[in-house]
Structure 1
């Protein structure tokens, strides 16, 4: 597998063009994509790397806060973004390559807060809900007319705020929630999963800027199909215990 450069860049401006013109942007979203000792890690990272190997392409992985990755992918051609949820509000904003990981999203509360009971999505509208700016959960809940969203720039801040009782609920990817709680050295029993958001459960994707080279996009689609057909994709999912 080729050496992939991983760079944590400054937080102003859009990403510079690379010699190859292909740029890959993502965020800290373990266990799907994250940095460890300066290297890109995670299930989705491995899938993208496998596709790059398959098509003989090289690229830089750039880690931004999600809002900036999202903006970069919308404004710079030949930019690939992952792991991204596919919802109607985003359908026409990107050129979608394909599914790279399964995921599930749920509301979480403090286990000690017996006053909160969620049986329907509308029930959650009565409580403060922590979300991250511009991510798929924020966009979905806003589209469902939630008026009590408390927006932060990074996912981890919501877990910290919930742990200190500064939020009633947070909406979070289930695999990422477990990973983040362990990273923060918090007791898992401090929290309780109270309601799964089925509309935000299913698959994560990789997608290109709409003005990207059609041949480049099709090569990525072909590479993704190939690693799914030859078993490499399933091998990656099995190692992360994220099979559908």
Structure 2
């Protein structure tokens, strides 16, 4: 074998793993957060899912959306390669941890009770109550950062609808949740949120910059750029606005 061919072969074998890395498929993770993301007839659905899917279609990217418990999705996006996550609250603490793309919904968080007579004047007053949270979500992180403790005054689970059931059964006193998410869950049970849920404390400092689409920090810049370009094409075509109007 000529020396030049040998050098070429060795160079190709060296570069091959890098070529395979660049071709690594995009992994997309989300949670059960209706109406933004949820399982519908066994498939991922919801408003945010439709936005992400429209961009993937525009890019010609295979759909690989996985709905899973939030703690797992968050860990995958925090530590994995080529991962897209939605719907992620954008807060100062999370700002350097992800590459942010697009806010897709506002984030109005509240503490809710079923007791119409209960009202809190401060977060400190909530410490004597049992509060339902979702593991590693922004609400739970917020309360832990403010001195609340799982097993003491926080009861952590994997789903928001489970927490509402806990509230209805009297197993917890308060429910920390995004307002839109709470209203959707209650309506799905044929109940009127205005008559059923009673906000006892608005958490205006919690929502950050709303709910977002973001990428793991270990995602190739080319992938993020392609997604942003696809998003702009979906926006320019009117598809993005049509999705938002559908879910209003």
1:237 is displaced (CA, Å) by 1.4
After TM superposition, the structure 1 = structure 2 runs for residues 80-119 of structure 1, keeping only pairs within 5 Å, are: 80-111=84-115, 114=117, 116-119=118-121
Which residue is 1:170 aligned to? 175
Cα RMSD over matched residues? 2.1
Which residue is 2:11 aligned to? none
1:54 is displaced (CA, Å) by 2.5
Given the alignment, which residue of 193, 215, 222 partners 1:215? Answer: 222
Q: Report the more deviating stretch, 162-171 or 187-196.
A: 187-196
Look up the SS of the partner of 2:96 in the other structure.
coil
Alpha-carbon distance change, 200 to 21 in structure 1, aligned in 2, over 3 angstroms: same
Q: TM-score, normalised by structure 1?
A: 0.83
| Count of aligned pairs between the two proteins | 222
Given the alignment, which residue of 199, 203, 207 partners 1:197? Answer: 203
1:187-238 C-alpha deviation (Å, 9 max, x unpaired): 6433212222112335211111111111001111222234334433222112
Q: Report the more deviating stretch, 26-35 or 222-231.
A: 222-231
Alpha-carbon distance change, 57 to 90 in structure 1, aligned in 2, over 3 angstroms: same
Which residue is 1:37 aligned to? 41
Q: Hey, which of these two has a bigger chunk of helix by percent?
A: 2
For residues 140 and 231 of structure 1, what CA distance do their matches in structure 2 show? Answer: 36
After TM superposition, the structure 1 = structure 2 runs for residues 1-244 of structure 1, keeping only pairs within 5 Å, are: 21-111=25-115, 114=117, 116-147=118-149, 148-185=153-190, 188=193, 189-201=195-207, 202-241=209-248
Decide whether the 8 Å contact of 1:110 with 1:165 is kept in 2. Answer: no
1:93 is displaced (CA, Å) by 1.7
The higher radius of gyration belongs to: 2
For residues 50 and 75 of structure 2, what CA distance do their matches in structure 1 show? Answer: 23
For residues 53 and 187 of structure 1, what CA distance do their matches in structure 2 show? Answer: 37
Unaligned runs of 5+ in 1: 1-16
Decide whether the 8 Å contact of 1:110 with 1:192 is kept in 2. Answer: yes
Alpha-carbon distance change, 235 to 200 in structure 1, aligned in 2, over 3 angstroms: farther
Q: Hey, which of these two has a bigger chunk of strand by percent?
A: 1
Unaligned runs of 5+ in 2: 1-20
Decide whether the 8 Å contact of 1:94 with 1:209 is kept in 2. Answer: yes
Q: TM-score, normalised by structure 2?
A: 0.81
